[in-house]
Amino acid sequence: MANLASMGWSMKPITAMFSDIFSFFGYTKRWYLAVSCVVGAAFALAFALLPPAKASAAPAAAFVFLTSFTKANVDILTQGHYSRLIRRIPLAGSSLVSWVWWWVLLGSLVASVIAGPLADASLEWIGVIVAATLQFVTTFFFVMNWYGENKNRVNRAEDAKFMRANLLEERKDSSERLREDDDTAVAEMGNHSMLVLSDEVCAGVPGEEKDEVPPLPTCCCGVFEVNKEVARRNWRIVLYCLLVAAGSVVMAIVTVLGDIWSLLYACLARFRCCLRLRLLCTPVGDRQGEFVYVPQHGVVHSAPRCPGQLLHGQA
């Protein structure tokens, strides 16, 4: 069960990628978060109500996987939201991250305090129902947009503004270096119209600001807005996210339906494919982290509980 729960968390890159490319009713995070809370609470409640029988093992495994996936969605989308806030106000970034992790660790401590006595009393299902209720309650937080998320078009215009500023700064630094090295005057830059994020969002001469963002392409009768420039600029990351999600689904299916040798072969195949693609597609910082991440997980071994104790701690 613990492995299936962790596999659900491995699926969250696909949510981050999909939400950045397809905004849902004009927002890249708000409604995805709300749907994740509702669906996750339903799966958790279904898991809690399963009878403690051997026949319930496969449905329970599926519910655990899907519930973990919905919680991972809330985690990754929240990180994306406050990452954008940090870019707006960099000085508050470290304090914001510290407070976020402080509350995450406090919540984990409270959950452990609640789950421990319930497990001793063989009432684990009560803890699952409490978790499902809390997950559903947070839905109103996102429906009311108390996160204060801006609409997708506003965010795309903001991205274009930051990219334009970065490109201007790079060209300014390049010009200064040329003046210092060659000790000659550098010709002033011409009219560059490429200082934009994409044709869908903003196009024009540097320094010009637009009051309104042109309409973005839509699909599904206008339910989704398509940010094509995000997919074009990050196509390697998109490919990697798809592979990670596919590998997680395959591992979950093999864990439930396969034997130990099938699980071993699937694990080795997924590890090799994901590692190679990660080294090719991800930024330099992530690739450097692999030299620590891979050996760490290669030497860690998690001892599972008795196979018969899959539901409610009962054989």
Q: Does the structure show a pLDDT above 70 at 306?
A: no
Per-residue pLDDT of 10-59, as tens digits, reads: 888 888 889 889 988 888 899 999 999 999 999 999 998 888 777 788 88
Residue ranges covered by each domain of the chain: 1-149, 228-282
- Both tokens of 30, joined, read 């708000």
pLDDT at 31: 92
Q: What is the mean pLDDT of residues 263-291?
A: 68
Q: Which residue would you say has higher pLDDT here, 43 or 236?
A: 43
Q: Which residue would you say has higher pLDDT here, 312 or 115?
A: 115
Q: What is the mean pLDDT of residues 280-290?
A: 59
pLDDT at 35: 94
pLDDT at 92: 80
Using a pLDDT cut of 70, give the percent of the chain over it: 73
| Model pTM score | 0.72
Per-residue pLDDT of 191-214, as tens digits, reads: 443 344 444 444 443 444 444 556
Q: Does the structure show a pLDDT above 80 at 107?
A: yes
Nearby residues of 225 by Cβ (< 8 Å), 6 or more positions away:
22, 23, 26, 152, 153, 216, 217, 218
Under the banding of pLDDT at 50, 70 and 90, the label for residue 77 is very high
Average predicted confidence (pLDDT) for the chain: 76
pLDDT at 194: 39
Q: Does the structure show a pLDDT above 80 at 305?
A: no
Nearby residues of 37 by Cβ (< 8 Å), 6 or more positions away:
70, 74, 135, 136, 138, 139, 142
Q: What is the mean pLDDT of residues 131-152?
A: 89
Per-residue pLDDT of 167-184, as tens digits, reads: 887 777 676 666 665 554
Packed helices 260-281 and 284-299: angle between N→C axes, nearest 10 degrees: 160
pLDDT at 210: 47
